[in-house]
Amino acid sequence: MAKRDETVTYDGPAGGWGSLRGIAEIAGKEGVSAGAMATLLEQNKPGGFACVSCAWTKRANHKAVEFCENGAKATLWELTSRKATLDVFARHTLADLRGFSDHDLEQLGRLTHPLRYDSRSDRYIPCSWDEAFAEIGKELRAMEPKKTVFYTSGRASLETSYCWALFARAYGHNNLPDSSNMCHETTSVTLKKVIGSPVGTVVLDDFDHCDALFFFGQNTGTNSPRFLHQLQAAVRRGCKIVTFNPVRERGLESMINPQEPTAMVSGHETALSCQYHQVKPGGDIAVLLGLCKHVLAADDAARADDRQIIDHAFIAEHTTGFEAFEARLRSLDWSDIEEVSGVTRAAIEAAGTVYVEAENAIGIYGMGLTQHMHGFENIATYVNLLLMKGNIGRKGAGISPVRGHSNVQGQRTVGIAEKPELVPLDRLAELFDFAPPREKGMNTVEACEAILKGEVSAFISLGGNFLRAVPEQRAMEEAWPRMRLTVQIATKLNRSHLINGEIAYLLPCLGRSEMDLLTGKPQVVSMEDSLSCVHGSVGKRTPASKDLKSEIEIVSRLAEATLPPNPNMPWGNWARDTAAVRDLIEKTYPDEFRDFNARLFTPGGFYRGHPARERQWKTESGKAEFVTPEMLSATGYQTAPERFTLITLRSNDQFNTTIYGYSDRLRGIEGKRDVLLINPGEIDRLGLAVGERVTVVCDAEDDIDRRVTGLEIMPFDLPDGCVAGYYPELNPLVPLSHHDRASKTPAYKSVPVRIKRNGEARLSFPGADKPSS
Ligand SMILES: Nc1nc2c(c(=O)[nH]1)N[C@H]1C(S)=C(S)[C@@H](COP(=O)(O)OP(=O)(O)OC[C@H]3O[C@@H](n4cnc5c(=O)[nH]c(N)nc54)[C@H](O)[C@@H]3O)O[C@H]1N2
Ligand SMILES: Nc1nc2c(c(=O)[nH]1)N[C@H]1C(S)=C(S)[C@@H](COP(=O)(O)OP(=O)(O)OC[C@H]3O[C@@H](n4cnc5c(=O)[nH]c(N)nc54)[C@H](O)[C@@H]3O)O[C@H]1N2
Ligand SMILES: [Mo]
């Protein structure tokens, strides 16, 4: 019988020697040269290149080494000596390649040559760049623009993104879904509504002045490890960290800083969270309401002797909606809060006391709050908690979403948006002398719906792995070939490149760490990080192949081949001179990008500014808005006997759909990804055995059969009623209709499922079960 202390765990800290071993392993596996290793030292420094991994900010007073385990892995993945050369595509049909796992596809190495799909042989065959641009342009010219979709994954630079969005609008649509539609779109919608700006309010310096940090659903040790330095420094100063997460993530419990030799030698760990509460998935609205209720009770008590906890003056001057929210808090029963959250009143009050006692508090969050049907209410209630004590718009305080891809926030800033009201269309019309389309375009979920209905003729993808990242994977893969044209601009092969429209191209591009030498001198690009700082980036390495083009050149050539000539849009010049694009960005967004080119290499980046930080609320009411959530659970569905809530997780050895390897070191899971994590009590209650293979079936209330077979039962410390497994292998289980009601971000963190015994022995997804190399 499995007991709680037999769960799979990792007792070591985050960082430490384990992280250095992680880097060495990938360097060996990718056959990385000494020169490429040396390139790592130029990462995240002025004059160097911005890390391609997470969006955490780069500090001004940088150290000799400014990369982390996962940043190094991402760069070495790009600088691999492996190449997916033409003979790979001559050897394998696409049907063959569809049998490869995500890991094995990308292990083939960097794409080296533009490719066109040949349906007769079911192979990719080489083509010339000119041929590719000409045919894609011809096809697009013949299509109805509003039936085409231009997707972006959050890596492309500000310059490329600006050109991409301009291309879409000049062609005639706003169909610009972005990976952020699957990620922090909930943030963009909620924060815009409640504080008037779609991004976090915190700057790096605030971490030196806060007394408490709250963590809801963000896994720093794996997904933004450079942030651990700020956390370590804050804890050493006496700041308290309180975490709410169904999974006990090691990176939030303790760390060893690999940049501190004495700590490395002594093994001295810094404990990070002083309280760690294993909330049920989707239980955060209840927890946050409980915390607010505790603040209210503390304020009632304080007012009896003429003190106050709530910042009543701030609420009166700066907010709306507090009365309704207060009434809701007073009428709430603790028993309901406890039931939905799975956290006891005493535990919530203990966390609430840390908040009450902190002069300045910061609220941090990630996918654990955004990817639910009621993600909007998760974030809005979090902001309510901060507003109650005036913790927005002052030093050491604020709301801090931790973004994903390295430029995902910036892409939105420079116009990649399906919502025309977010873009200064009049200014674009004036600058470029054209009539931008004014109708709302499709976001990711809407693009999927349209593709499923057969209403999309072309899908052009600037990076990413759309078909593997989206919900409803089976049906999406079936519907995809009904499109006339699919084009993928990418660095490495992935599953989205193997399922094609009638006409299909795979166009290989430079990675960010590589030199763009179109004009002989290296071009510069730029990105915006999670804390709204903009950084310049210059590639340093010789490109993986002479046949690669920069993303901005590919986008410009596509635009040139598609659009009628317009003297105000000299596409050819822009790829040769990214500084000219920065001037256009400055003209389009003069407040944010003043003196863009001059400030490009400001150490630590230049700050784009944030109205809510100055307590200017650009909301409908002109004030910060309290929202009163009606529901307590964010899952959006009822509990039912034998219905489990599935969380899809990232391992420490992956970047989204890129699987570097099979070691989830910080969770103690080694050598496999075909697992279903579940607590020992639940294993016993269901009469299952550790190691048994099961089938997991989606339990959404519709009649679509969504299942994954062959998952191995693994005992893991999780709340009752909840199971966890890996993204993207479990994406066939996620219903497209389950998304945040306000932003349409898919509910990847609370999928209703049932577990069936007698699962087949192998994972039903091709090749995804076992490492083969
Ligand atoms: N190495 C690496 N770095 C990455 C990425 C990567 O894949 N690998 N991906 C990048 C991208 S695009 C993104 S968006 C970010 C993602 O970074 P995160 O925002 O950290 O996203 P996840 O790892 O998906 O999930 C975060 C945490 O939410 C918890 N969680 C799940 N459900 C709930 C819930 O209902 N409530 C609460 N409170 N917690 C919950 C999970 O246990 C997990 O610890 O990281 C970026 N950085
Ligand atoms: N179940 C589940 N699904 C999820 C999530 C989840 O937590 N659970 N998370 C969601 C989130 S937060 C996100 S952001 C999405 C991610 O969705 P995407 O952003 O679409 O996916 P990635 O895996 O980041 O894309 C990887 C591919 O990008 C290409 N690439 C890498 N670097 C470059 C480059 O410099 N240029 C170009 N052109 N291509 C490049 C490579 O070909 C690589 O195979 O997935 C979402 N899907
Ligand atoms: Mo993301």
Structure tokens at 563: 């659009």
Residue nearest to atom 47 of ligand 1 (CA): 223
Tell me if 492 CB under 6 Å of ligand 2: yes
pLDDT bin (cut points 50, 70, 90) of residue 770 is very low
What CATH code is carried by the domain that includes residue 163? 3.40.50.740
* CATH value at residue 649: 2.40.40.20
Mutate to test the pocket of ligand 2, among 149, 158, 179, 507 (most ligand atoms within 8 A of CB): 179
Two tokens at 452?
A: 């499923």
Least Cα distance to 136 among 115, 105, 162, 108 occurs for 115
Above 50 in pLDDT, residue 1?
no
Do residues 211 and 240 lie in contact, with contact meaning Cβ atoms separated by under 8 Å? yes
Q: Output the DSSP codes for 631-699.
A: -S-SS-S---TT-EEEEEE--TTEETTEE--SEEGGGTEES---EEEE-HHHHHHTT--TT-EEEEEE-
Task: Please indicate whether residue 254, judged by its CB atom, sits closer than 6 Å to ligand 2.
Answer: no
728: preceding bond cis by omega (within 30 degrees): yes
pLDDT at position 530 is 86
433, 357: one domain: no
For residue 272, is it within any domain? yes
> Is-contact 495 94, C-beta < 8 A?
no
What residues have their beta carbon closer than 5 A to ion ligand 3? 183, 404
Q: Is the pLDDT of residue 773 over 50?
A: no
Question: By C-alpha distance, which of 212, 224, 229 is closest to 249?
Answer: 224
153: domain range? 83-183+407-598
Domain boundary among 570, 598, 626: 598
Residue 53 falls inside a structural domain: no
Per-residue pLDDT of 50-107, as tens digits, reads 887 877 887 777 766 677 788 888 888 888 899 999 999 999 999 999 999 999 999 9
Asked if 422 and 369 sit in the same domain, the reply is no
650 pLDDT more than 90: yes
Q: Is the pLDDT of residue 531 over 90?
A: no
User: Do 388 and 528 fall into the same domain?
Assistant: no
Q: How many CA atoms lie within 13 A of 536 on its CB side?
A: 20
The per-residue pLDDT for 684 is 96
The H-or-E segment that residue 429 falls in is helix 425-432
**Tokens 């007792």 -> residue:** 11
Say if residues 583 and 594 touch (Cβ distance below 8 Å): no
Q: Indicate whether 397 and 421 sit together in one domain.
A: no
In testing the pocket of ligand 2, which one of 73, 77, 153, 646 has its CB within 8 Å of the most ligand atoms?
153
Binned at pLDDT 50, 70 and 90, residue 766 comes out as: low
pLDDT tens by residue, 109-139: 999 999 999 999 999 999 999 999 999 999 9
What is the rounded average pLDDT of the residues 518-545?
91
- DSSP-derived 3-state class of residue 478: helix
φ and ψ of 709, to 5 deg: -105, 165
Q: Strand, coil or helix: what is 75?
A: helix
**Ligand 2 atom showing the smallest separation from residue 497 Cα:** 42
> Could you tell which of 248, 650, 652, 745 is best to mutate to test the pocket of ligand 1, judged by most ligand atoms within 8 Å of the CB?
650
For residues 466 and 583, membership in a common domain is answered with yes
User: How confident is the model at residue 771, as a pLDDT?
Assistant: 47
Q: Is residue 35 part of a domain?
A: no
Residue 4 in domain: no
CA of 267 to the centre of ligand 3 (A): 33
Q: Which has more confidence, 71 or 581?
A: 581
pLDDT score of 767: 59
Residue 536 forms part of a structural domain: yes
State whether 363 and 266 are in the same domain: yes
One DSSP character per residue, 186-226 reads HHHHHHHHHHSSSS----GGGGGT-SEEEEES--HHHH-TT
The rounded distance, in Å, linking the Cα atoms of 551 and 136 is: 16
- Sign, CA dihedral 391-393-394-397, equals positive
- Residue 6: the pLDDT is 64
pLDDT of 148: 98
**Cα dihedral 504→75→181→387 (10° resolution):** -170
Cα–Cα distance measured from residue 714 to residue 238, given in angstroms and rounded to the nearest whole number: 37
Measuring from atom 2 of ligand 1, which residue has the nearest CA? Answer: 223
pLDDT of 649 strictly over 60: yes
Q: How far is the CA of 502 from the centre of ligand 3 (A)?
A: 30
Round the average pLDDT of the chain to a whole number and report it: 93
Confidence band, pLDDT 50/70/90 cuts, at residue 748:
very high
Average pLDDT of span 762-771: 61
Question: Is the predicted pLDDT of residue 306 greater than 70, yes or no?
Answer: yes
Q: What is the share, in percent, of the chain residues with pLDDT greater than 90?
A: 80
| Amino acid at position 405, single letter | H
Q: How far is the CA of 154 from the centre of ligand 2 (A)?
A: 8
Ligand with minimal distance to 513 CA:
2
Among the residue ranges 168-177, 256-265, 388-397, 637-646, the one predicted with the least confidence is 256-265
Residue 494 Cβ inside 6 Å of ligand 2? The answer reads: yes
DSSP 549: B
Pocket test for ligand 2, best of 182, 461, 647 (most atoms within 8 A of CB): 182
Is 366 within a domain?
yes
Question: Per residue in 508-524, pLDDT tens?
Answer: 999 999 999 888 888 99
Domain co-membership, 147 together with 277: no
Model pTM score? 0.95
Indicate if 164 and 195 belong to the same structural domain: no
As a dihedral over the C-alpha atoms of residue 219, residue 224, residue 226, residue 230, rounded to 10 degrees, the angle is: -50
Please state the rounded mean pLDDT for residues 39-60: 78
Asked whether residue 689 is domain-assigned, the answer is yes
- Record the tokens describing residue 198, joined without a space: 């779609």
Q: 511 in ligand 2 pocket by Cβ < 6 Å?
A: yes
Number of domains observed in the structure of the chain = 3
Using a 10 angstrom Cβ sphere, with 0-12 exposed, 13-18 middle and 19 or more buried, the burial of residue 64 is exposed
DSSP state at residue 13: P
Question: Mean pLDDT over residues 226-234, rounded?
Answer: 90
Nearest-CA neighbor of 490 among 68, 185, 166, 151? 151
Task: Say whether both 739 and 662 belong to one domain.
Answer: yes
Q: What angle do CA 422, 524, 509 make, to 5 degrees?
A: 80
Domain harbouring 312, CATH code: 3.40.228.10
| Residue 129 and residue 266 in one domain | no
Residue 165: predicted pLDDT:
98
Are 458 and 521 part of one and the same domain? yes
* Strand 123-126, strand 115-118: pairing: antiparallel
The Cα 237–Cα 230 span in angstroms is 11
Assess if residue 439 is contained within a domain.
Answer: yes
User: What confidence score (pLDDT) does residue 18 get?
Assistant: 73
Q: Looking at this protein, which amino acid is placed at residue 512? A: R
Q: What is the pLDDT of residues 431-489, one digit of tens each?
A: 999 999 999 999 999 999 999 999 999 999 999 999 999 999 999 999 999 999 999 99
What pLDDT sits at residue 460?
Answer: 98
Please give the average per-residue pLDDT across 642-668, as a whole number.
Answer: 95
Average pLDDT for 344-352? 98
CA 274, 279, 284, 285 dihedral sign is negative
Q: Please give the pLDDT value at position 22.
A: 74
Same domain membership, residue 240 and residue 147: no
Q: Is the CB of residue 490 below 6 angstroms from any atom belonging to ligand 2?
A: yes
Atom of ligand 2 nearest to the CA of 106: 44
Question: 720: which residues sit within 8 A by CB, 6+ positions away?
Answer: 342, 679, 681, 682
> Binning pLDDT at 50, 70 and 90, where does residue 264 land?
low
- H-type helices in 40-171, by residue range? 69-78, 86-91, 94-97, 102-107, 129-142, 158-171
Quick one: pLDDT band at residue 5, thresholds 50, 70, 90?
low
pLDDT tens across 671-719, in order? 999 999 999 999 999 999 999 999 999 999 899 999 999 999 999 999 9
- What local confidence, expressed as pLDDT, does residue 769 receive? 44
Integer CA distances (angstroms), 382 to 288, 344, 371, in order: 6, 19, 15
Q: How far is CA 159 from CA 67, 429, 560, 608, 741, in A?
A: 24, 18, 17, 16, 32
Instruction: Please say which residue of 402, 420, 442 terminates a domain.
Output: 402
Tell me the ligand closest to 406's alpha carbon: 1
Which residue reads 């002069």 in tokens?
Answer: 359
> Where does ligand 1 bind, in terms of residues with CB under 6 Å?
53-54, 70, 183, 216-219, 222-224, 244-247, 249, 279, 281-282, 284, 366-368, 402, 404-405, 647, 649-650, 654-656, 749
Ligand 2 centre from 724 Cα, in Å? 20
